Amino acid sequence: MEADFVIIGSGSAGSAMAYRLSEDGKYSVIVIEYGGTDMGPLIQMPAALSFPMNMSTYDWGFNTEPEPHLNGRRLVTPRGKVIGGSSSVNGMVYVRGHAKDFDHWAESGASGWSYADVLPYFKRMEHSHGGEEGWRGTNGPMHVQRGKRSNPLFKAFNDAGKQAGFETTDDYNGSKQEGFGPMEQTIHHGRRWSTANAYLRPALKRRNVTLVNAFARKVVIENGRATGVEIEKSGTVSVIKAKREVIIAASSINSPKLLMLSGIGPAEHLREHGIEVVADRAGVGANLQDHMEVYVQQECLQPITLYSSLNLFSKARIGAEWLFFKSGLGATNHFEGAAFVRSSAGVEYPDIQFHFLPVAIRYDGKAAAGGHGFQAHVGPMRSKSRGSVTLRSSDPKEKPKILFNYMSHPDDWRDFRHCIRLTREIFGQQAFAPYRGREIQPGDDQVTDEQLDNFIRDHAESAFHPCGTCKMGSVNDPMAVVDPECRVIGVEGLRVADSSIFPRVPYGNLNGPSIMTGEKASDHILGKTPLPRSNQEPWINPRWQVSDR
């Protein structure tokens, strides 16, 4: 088996590349995906989002090492093991990230990845329904919509933000990210709009694209050049040859793991595991970042929350309506209200994100409050803590060691406490007065720094936005793994293009920037001139130096 391009991983970036690299019919593409089909209702039905990420059928089943600053808790690290990768198991929230995030990438050595450079790729990938004119794409493969926001609690959240003095925005993915407004979803005609639906299925209709269901063991490198991928299928090991290039798009956990198994990484670590060093790159597996959040939950005095729908009869009714009509409560992820705000004066652009939900429940659906409630997921978006992904052994089947080192920077504690207190201020506004009961968690009596720190230690969760482990940067940067064209430094014919190459975690959910990465990387791989830079200027709060609102 051979193709011009061999892509490892059919996720957010991998599917986009399969579509773009095969578009003109000139080149053949093989996509290697270990996971199986995404066609079950638990993936396609948006409201069922808590199921796939808890199922070994669809998830790699990674956990962190005991996190030293979180009472030694091991946190789950879901990654999609299925067609569409993590875009098939995620929360379907669509955020591009702030313009300044990408400018920061460019300043830190990822030249050609500033906001002006990436905005045209966001537009190329999008089919925006209701976004800001001129700032959004309207005929790309990726459908993006807003929820109906019919629950009155969404309006209360928006109004409370206004009453607290914060900005509002009609489209945080447009010119103005800062403020309270509607949240966007990768849902289309009532179905999860994963990259499998948007990119991979259309690509597989072409004669020059093949999907191979197999486990990628390592990249085959001969005389300093990647020539193929060693795979295992039904117990048999074989090699898929790449005539032009091998592209790794296997996630911020599996991409560094594959590089290290292939002899690319910190030399000493590789030798420890008896792996021959092909390229000594200290940055492989380093620079691991994520977003953390806590759920601030409030009792609701009126019986209007989704709690009414958590009984078996309601679930059956919702499931039936979705199955037959692709409508109703099953056709949304229920994340329909959002806010992006700044933590203090002197912070130039937002660094706190809110997801608002009209029910009090854990993200994985495992524990709901015992009555009507609402909640905000909140956390600081630019943590200074850094972790790593390392090998446990040279056995490709063995899960890697993941240590995010969450909350290892003292600023994170200060920022998290501020997030909780700010949420309380918003929930305390007049707009919530008709609905607001007692605080479920942390609890009205949890007020001191020490009490809030204990709550964070026990209850902070990952928002599941891991990235950064194969950092993109200048070839002179000893910690960079890929150059600004996604080429692995020190090896020919090998690229990495997924969230692992992000120099710093963008402000918001990562599916959008990951797809954009696949879109832009495709042009680099094909040797095309990048799309013309944008001259659009994003909105920055004129009061940023004097106020947080």
Mind telling me the catalytic residues? 465
27 labeled binding residue: yes
33 labeled binding residue: yes
Phi, psi of 169 (to 5 degrees): -145, 135
Question: For the stretch 238-251, what's the b/e string if a residue is b when 16 or more beta carbons lie within 10 angstroms of its beta carbon?
Answer: eebebebbbbbbbb
99 labeled binding residue: no
Tell me if residue 482 falls in helix, strand or coil: strand
Which of 27, 1, 44, 26 is closest to 201 using CA atoms?
Answer: 44
86 labeled binding residue: no
83 labeled binding residue: no
The answer to whether the CB of 324 falls within 8 A of the CB of 505 is no
378 labeled binding residue: no
Measure the CA–CA gap between 437 and 409, rounded to whole angstroms.
34
171 labeled binding residue: no
Radius of gyration over every alpha carbon of the chain, rounded to an integer in angstroms:
22
17 labeled binding residue: yes
Measure the CA–CA gap between 97 and 507, rounded to whole angstroms.
5
194 labeled binding residue: no
522 labeled binding residue: no
29 labeled binding residue: yes
482 labeled binding residue: no
Measure the CA–CA gap between 129 and 341, rounded to whole angstroms.
24
Which of 310, 311, 396 is closest to 361 using CA atoms?
Answer: 310
278 labeled binding residue: no
Pairing, β 184-185 against β 142-146: antiparallel
Measure the CA–CA gap between 532 and 119, rounded to whole angstroms.
10
Contacts of 532 (CB under 8 A, 6+ apart): 120
359 labeled binding residue: no
158 labeled binding residue: no
19 labeled binding residue: yes
Measure the CA–CA gap between 506 and 114, rounded to whole angstroms.
12
22 labeled binding residue: yes
The total number of residues shown for the chain amounts to 549
500 labeled binding residue: no
The answer to whether the CB of 400 falls within 8 A of the CB of 89 is no
55 labeled binding residue: no
Contacts of 211 (CB under 8 A, 6+ apart): 10, 30, 31, 33, 83, 200, 204
160 labeled binding residue: no
5 labeled binding residue: yes
Number of Cβ within a 10 Å radius of residue 502: 29
10 labeled binding residue: yes
Measure the CA–CA gap between 79 and 500, rounded to whole angstroms.
13
**Ramachandran bin of 242, using left for φ above 0, alpha for ψ from -120 to 50, beta for the remaining angles:** beta
Question: For the stretch 260-295, what's the b/e string if a residue is b when 16 or more beta carbons lie within 10 angstroms of its beta carbon?
Answer: bbbbbbbbebbeeeebeebbebebbbbbbbbbbbbb
**Ramachandran bin of 206, using left for φ above 0, alpha for ψ from -120 to 50, beta for the remaining angles:** beta
91 labeled binding residue: yes
231 labeled binding residue: no
> Binding-site residues for FAD, please?
4-33, 82, 90-93
> Binding-site residues, please?
4-33, 82, 90-93
